[in-house]
Structure 1
């Protein structure tokens, strides 16, 4: 045994240091001149002005990603990223003092692949000398309100891995840089800290917050981004840039700018050096008044600038020369080329203490009536497609690992996960899933995701074929939510394969479009499964518009093992008229209930009237209805601001009710009870309670939103309860920790509320709740949406937005979505899941529920009879993981290694049962893989955990950072504390 352990230890060292694609361990002999070692010297006793040349290159916005890279469609916006990189490299070579930072790896990767070996070597030299520095380094600069943390981690990992593989240690960014997102999430700061960043800079924050911080000189702070993780694990130094991300006024020298160049020939009449120096010194001194140290930063660049970098650098060279020349006349200002990391290093050297922040930066307003809270919901169909694509990508990644090489090249051809990874990474951009792009760009994001699905479908088919031993072609039905699936509509015998990407078993309701009236269903053990056939609702028949012709839906419940699949066989028993008991009754029931929940309805209105938890004997009054806010058209005495893709601005604080009553149909059987509600020709809902569910489902369908009255509408679903919430509600941060929100209140400044609705809206990524001492009502969403609690006991979720005016934030078109199928306006369908629990145990319900919605099972079909030797059930795990543990990532890293992330999914003190440390044995994890070696990495997998060192920062509270945690007693035994994510590279062998 001793020999075996020694062999594994030696192997681990080799595994960590020599395999391509992994971070290279630094040896004592190495002395790179990049990073902090490459910074220009500053001058003590002077005001040091750090000039940061940069470009902000949106990965899609007004133009598509491709159009931006190539410089196509300049009639929309003049921008060509390939020319920016060409020009910057050329100019950096002309003066070793010059610096440049680059951010978006999606663009740099594409440019890099087109360069000659000589050019690549030249760029590597610039990176090694710190003259070209990468900051942030993710595939894109992600949105912070509408992105789910798992997708953010993935896109950051992809970008940082490319930089690591290409440039090694010098390609690793040390600073996170989110200069353009429209508000900042605490979970993003937590992730950046765990990825090893030393600091974080951004450009946008609420105008009132900025004003207060400027007066108090608190524009730089220590952000404590988790209440569960032990400091300084989630502590991140955070700085607010002085001009958003633009240059100081009058100092923009790009070809897109109109500011005059520096004219330094004294014999010419228009010589302006003295004027330039005077203005610059005035700006520098003014800026220094609102920052804490004798170092200030200036961003010299903006959107898609530096296409002709010579213009910028020639003038910056002169600016530095002439301003510093004044030091001989007693000036105390020193100007230098710099980078965010060099600026950060100087702040660290001051050894000062910094104010501590514990909340987030939502919502963001740039003036009194301009709250950027509309994009929390903008383009709800794209938001749902992105969310379900993330679920599909995780399944694709897992099956690539479980299937081995045959997954990528098997009986159904060559499949890959890379196409989907890149599409999902691009979709995280702050003008992608945010919904703030032009329509043709939104279409392009969706097209990329669809292309990723196609590539993953081949991979999934190959793996399922290999694991099951069946070569039958797999069929994917992507429109089951509107009851469209050609195979199930026509086949008399087919199988349903349900793959579960979670590390625990799930029970999941399946609804399949069919034309028969009776079916037999058997599970993987041949046991009969209870099923029911119900008629397709009028709303579903209307929304699918000829894309399917099923008259019925087949309902049954499936069980799927952890990280595995189960197969169900379906056979048609009867065609013809459905049985009388399957037909809906045209009236509201007094109540629907199962063994967990009871829901009552008002017989006069057909609306919800109460919700009861039968296990805990809780009951709350609960009504639900649909409303819309009229969108401002700018014709208002207070402000001309209009609602648009970014801005939510209703023209009144009272929403308009769509209908006080609902037309009702009721269905009740052994699988499901549902109440179908029609509120208007464009709003309907199904209130649905499955037999074994602890959550009530509200399936809403909204659209086409009418605009015949020439007013845009912002449609909400509002829940009004008897819960005494006292102006407080809670939302998740990027799907992880919950944050308290209080009406008309901000934790860090005295708010002057000017928009009582929009100013109280927050991003809801996966769930929100209200509570009092006895009851907690939680709403789980199926996509990112905006919402608020405007009245006590109330929770409203914005579902759909259709607007007739642009909000003048750059996108240049109203958010008025149509399509070929819905030319008169987009129809959107989604789900809200409600649970009622005592506050002390609510997390035990809503966390796994939200997880199931984010990572839902993948359902595939095969036609005809199954082969007798088909393997009908499979689990990739040896055993179910503890309830607190989430398998966040299982992804192929290279031929023999797997990237694994294990997450403790509960906050500290959130659950008496589950908010405890928990352990997992890596050697006992997978059923098809032998784990031969393991090494821990940081969250973004671009540093070895034992080599990750970050700058320590002192908070004004006087507290000292706590010592780092000790390692696990065994390299195979992983201990997880609440909210902790641990990342490993596993050396594996297929069994």
Structure 2
């Protein structure tokens, strides 16, 4: 027997007595039970970011080590809808040597079967050595149930699923029922099964065969164990009694299979082929490509990444707080009143809720409505709890006199600013007395960022608390409706200089009337396009203008550091692209805001989507920030996409990232239907030619395509009334008002790509990596309460300098003590050195 997902196993473990726990350990030691993969869930491999994939793997492995003392050696991923080499890299790094996959395009399975390459060494596209290779077994047939695992004929194989015997709760859809194995029919039944085994074995290079006996929601009652074991044992006994059949069959675990496989391969000197790349987009039959789930329920995909960012920030700040407390006290204990165990429980819950959502029916958006609501509730509660972790950790770190630390749960020291939450924005109340803002930079890089907060006054002043230096700021409108600004709330934007992993303090006060720099607005109507006066742009910044209405809004992206270099980018005003996608823009006019800090461009009014383009000084000014606010709740059977039109001559090739970990080349094939040319984008997609590269960085997972040269289509949302007959049993109609966030980067190219198994291997540039990092992990703003009674604070800066540009601090993860849900004195430091493009 094998078991894969620890989230469900741990719930069962918590409810059983010590006698049953001892029995489980005996079965594990005897090799009758094996824990495979060992992740918190069987993770999706298209939408999940590698941070979350690794985090749920660590959570599961640490649970296994702590409770059972075992370490998985084989992976089992039979239900994710396509497979990514990023996951294989993480599995190999976690100590696994072998793995099984199932959901691969039926034509690829056919090709691999013809070439006898269904078992192969899976190698990373960028890897020149075999160090990270993992042995992979690809199941050859339609499904992983018993009817599709013994051989090529499901009507025959189903007869050997004895849970479907007449009178039991299941039956065979091919209307040929299984028969109990008796002395009278054992020969006929054994030869029928053997024929299927032999036909399947001809697809592989080894005579060792894997035939799993299981399916969804099986072995829930003891009678199924008995009926399967007893009937199969009679067949196995018959095989043993007739050596002329040349078969030896027995029950085993997944590791038993791979051990036998490797013994046979070594004995015969057979070498497995090497395969690079991924297995997207999956199709199970005909033109039924499973690309819709790359975008389904985008609200929750965005919420997932928000929780992921908050969990990472909380982990790092909590670990730094515990370390600082131990240094201050001179022992291994936190401050007496610091709620370390309570906060660590919040972190553990956050890890597990994030991990649970990585399930291949979670982040994919392929669960039924009540399950989706449960996921959303878990994610939201974890966000609230992790905010508490950040606030309490920052409380200690900011205090100048640590002896005055006192935790009082009834009196919050800091509150998270929630201005970015949808849809409510609460204004910060100002007066002539300073309000204290604490900004946490969760990244390992020094950054200059524009901090935005909503205030109740049209005039405000910002100073850096430590130096008293006045900070550049501006006040912008908060739009209640697309054409009406609020008179009670205003957006304050100011530039903050944030050292790596620092907590920096700013004071905000109400200023005299008319003293603040205010954003200037000019309304541009399609019939009256006009120039917009404003300050000159700084060197290296991106310039954005508006073009003629017939072509839709046109942006000329110009690199000021190289005069004469510019790229054209536009968003078409008309729907197009075919029946599977709806490209919609319904604005009748647009507003352009221009100022020294940032610029917005947004259509007015916009029933479906609003876009904003920001101009920022410094490195952040090398990219354009685009935000969409999508609402298709009134639509019927429509899918909304954002199309970018450029003059990049990329041909039919483009690139998307795999889980935020690496880039994968894609080719648009006109002979295939539109849905076959849609691929997953976790955090980046790019078009390039010999002279330039256009990179779209994303803060959430979505489907992406390049249907024509120079085009990039991003799927924003979809609303479908009907079921797709793939197990969900309903349409997807629980759409919400959803925000999506991007950065667009244009770069010159000077070098070529390296080759990797016939496809070029590309990486993001260092600038793109840093832009993606700041997009995914924005600064976190906290507001001090009770400013009059605040003790003296000082900024917290744990690093003297930034880490190297290609080194990412993935996490600083406090480990659990032997006592459950208690933090230990150890923390796991996870660093990722990123591959980058030098051209």
Q: TM-score, normalised by structure 1?
A: 0.73
Q: What is residue 153 of structure 2 aligned with on the other side?
A: none
Match of 1:252 among 161, 181, 187: 161
Deviations 1:273-299 (A, max 9, x none): 344323211211111121221111111
- Determine if the alignment matches structure 1 residue 386 to structure 2 residue 313: no
Counterpart secondary structure, 1:370: coil
Q: Distance in 2 between matches of 1:344 and 1:797?
A: 41
- Determine if the alignment matches structure 1 residue 555 to structure 2 residue 493: yes
Contact 1:777 1:834 in 2 (8 A): yes
Q: What is residue 340 of structure 1 aligned with on the other side?
A: 254
Q: What is residue 476 of structure 1 aligned with on the other side?
A: 416
1:422–1:875 CA distance, 2 compared to 1 (3 A): same
Q: What is residue 215 of structure 2 aligned with on the other side?
A: 302
Q: Residues 920-935 of structure 1: matches in 2 within 5 Å? A: none
Q: Distance in 1 between matches of 2:212 and 2:431?
A: 63
Deviations 1:877-923 (A, max 9, x none): 2432111111112011142211111111224xx227xxxxxxxxxxx
Q: Distance in 2 between matches of 1:408 and 1:657?
A: 58
Match of 2:180 among 235, 244, 263: 263
Q: What is residue 130 of structure 1 aligned with on the other side?
A: 31
Deviations 1:307-354 (A, max 9, x none): 114324433333233244145442122211012211111221212211
- Determine if the alignment matches structure 1 residue 325 to structure 2 residue 238: yes
Q: What is residue 598 of structure 2 aligned with on the other side?
A: 672
Match of 2:747 among 837, 842, 845: 837
Match of 1:762 among 652, 656, 679: 679
Q: Distance in 2 between matches of 1:846 and 1:540?
A: 32
Following superposition, the deviation at residue 629 of structure 1 comes to 7.2
Q: What is residue 33 of structure 1 aligned with on the other side?
A: none
Aligned residues: 761
Q: Distance in 2 between matches of 1:216 and 1:222?
A: 14
Q: Distance in 1 between matches of 2:336 and 2:182?
A: 65
Counterpart secondary structure, 1:371: coil
1:433–1:629 CA distance, 2 compared to 1 (3 A): farther
Q: What is residue 47 of structure 2 aligned with on the other side?
A: 146
Q: What is residue 698 of structure 2 aligned with on the other side?
A: 781
Following superposition, the deviation at residue 627 of structure 1 comes to 6.7
Following superposition, the deviation at residue 846 of structure 1 comes to 0.7
Match of 1:691 among 610, 617, 621: 617
Contact 1:803 1:816 in 2 (8 A): yes
Q: Distance in 2 between matches of 1:312 and 1:120?
A: 19
Following superposition, the deviation at residue 658 of structure 1 comes to 2.4
Following superposition, the deviation at residue 661 of structure 1 comes to 6.5
Q: What is residue 637 of structure 2 aligned with on the other side?
A: 712
Deviations 1:453-510 (A, max 9, x none): 2332232222111111287622223352557443515777422211112111122222
Following superposition, the deviation at residue 600 of structure 1 comes to 2.8
Q: What is residue 533 of structure 1 aligned with on the other side?
A: 475
Deviations 1:95-133 (A, max 9, x none): xxxxx1011101111111222222211111111111111
- Determine if the alignment matches structure 1 residue 448 to structure 2 residue 386: no
Match of 1:882 among 804, 814, 822: 804
Counterpart secondary structure, 2:25: helix
Q: Distance in 2 between matches of 1:577 and 1:517?
A: 9
Bigger drift between 508-517 and 858-867 goes to 858-867
Contact 1:140 1:155 in 2 (8 A): yes
Deviations 1:651-674 (A, max 9, x none): 36xx55424865111111121122
Q: Distance in 2 between matches of 1:130 and 1:911?
A: 50
Q: What is residue 734 of structure 2 aligned with on the other side?
A: 817
Contact 2:4 2:37 in 1 (8 A): yes
Bigger drift between 592-601 and 614-623 goes to 592-601
Q: Distance in 2 between matches of 1:669 and 1:372?
A: 45
1:897–1:581 CA distance, 2 compared to 1 (3 A): closer
Q: Distance in 1 between matches of 2:711 and 2:77?
A: 33
Counterpart secondary structure, 2:523: coil
| RMSD of aligned residue pairs (Cα, Å) | 2.8
Following superposition, the deviation at residue 865 of structure 1 comes to 3.4
Q: Distance in 2 between matches of 1:542 and 1:334?
A: 78
Q: What is residue 119 of structure 1 aligned with on the other side?
A: 20
Q: What is residue 174 of structure 1 aligned with on the other side?
A: 73
Following superposition, the deviation at residue 575 of structure 1 comes to 6.6
- Determine if the alignment matches structure 1 residue 422 to structure 2 residue 352: yes
Contact 1:177 1:202 in 2 (8 A): yes
Q: Distance in 1 between matches of 2:522 and 2:785?
A: 31
1:768–1:386 CA distance, 2 compared to 1 (3 A): same
Contact 1:582 1:667 in 2 (8 A): yes
Q: What is residue 662 of structure 2 aligned with on the other side?
A: 737
Contact 1:594 1:689 in 2 (8 A): no
1:679–1:282 CA distance, 2 compared to 1 (3 A): farther
- Determine if the alignment matches structure 1 residue 682 to structure 2 residue 682: no
Q: Distance in 2 between matches of 1:491 and 1:281?
A: 84
Counterpart secondary structure, 2:319: helix
Q: Residues 342-741 of structure 1: matches in 2 within 5 Å? A: 342-349=256-263, 350-351=265-266, 352-404=270-322, 406=334, 410=338, 414-416=342-344, 417-469=347-399, 473-480=413-420, 482=422, 484-486=424-426, 488=428, 493-524=434-465, 525-538=467-480, 550-574=488-512, 582-587=520-525, 590=531, 593-595=537-539, 596-604=541-549, 607-617=553-563, 618-625=565-572, 651=579, 656-659=582-585, 663-678=589-604, 680-692=606-618, 693-707=621-635, 711-741=636-666
Counterpart secondary structure, 2:634: coil
Q: Distance in 2 between matches of 1:706 and 1:297?
A: 49
Q: Residues 148-163 of structure 1: matches in 2 within 5 Å? A: 148-163=49-64
Q: Distance in 1 between matches of 2:611 and 2:538?
A: 20
Q: Distance in 1 between matches of 2:641 and 2:710?
A: 16
1:144–1:498 CA distance, 2 compared to 1 (3 A): same
1:866–1:464 CA distance, 2 compared to 1 (3 A): farther
Counterpart secondary structure, 1:157: helix
Q: Residues 54-69 of structure 1: matches in 2 within 5 Å? A: none
Contact 1:662 1:678 in 2 (8 A): yes
Deviations 1:246-272 (A, max 9, x none): 113312233653255542455xxxx64
1:694–1:859 CA distance, 2 compared to 1 (3 A): same
1:409–1:889 CA distance, 2 compared to 1 (3 A): farther
Q: Structure 2: any 5+ residue segments left out of the alignment?
A: 148-156, 323-332, 400-404, 407-411, 752-763, 818-823
Deviations 1:494-541 (A, max 9, x none): 222111121111222222222311100012422111111111135579
Following superposition, the deviation at residue 770 of structure 1 comes to 0.3
Q: What is residue 92 of structure 2 aligned with on the other side?
A: 193
Q: What is residue 330 of structure 2 aligned with on the other side?
A: none
1:892–1:609 CA distance, 2 compared to 1 (3 A): closer
Deviations 1:17-56 (A, max 9, x none): xxxxxxxxxxxxxxxxxxxxxxxxxxxxxxxxxxxxxxxx
Q: Structure 1: any 5+ residue segments left out of the alignment?
A: 1-99, 631-649, 746-752, 819-825, 913-991
Q: Distance in 2 between matches of 1:736 and 1:550?
A: 44
Deviations 1:180-230 (A, max 9, x none): 0000112111111222211110111001101111222211111112414x5
Counterpart secondary structure, 2:571: strand
Contact 2:125 2:277 in 1 (8 A): no
Q: Distance in 1 between matches of 2:24 and 2:80?
A: 29
Contact 2:522 2:592 in 1 (8 A): yes
Q: TM-score, normalised by structure 2?
A: 0.85
Counterpart secondary structure, 1:295: coil
Q: Distance in 1 between matches of 2:335 and 2:380?
A: 19
- Determine if the alignment matches structure 1 residue 282 to structure 2 residue 211: no
Contact 1:252 1:258 in 2 (8 A): no
Contact 2:645 2:710 in 1 (8 A): yes
Following superposition, the deviation at residue 172 of structure 1 comes to 1.1
Bigger drift between 107-116 and 789-798 goes to 107-116
Q: What is residue 151 of structure 2 aligned with on the other side?
A: none
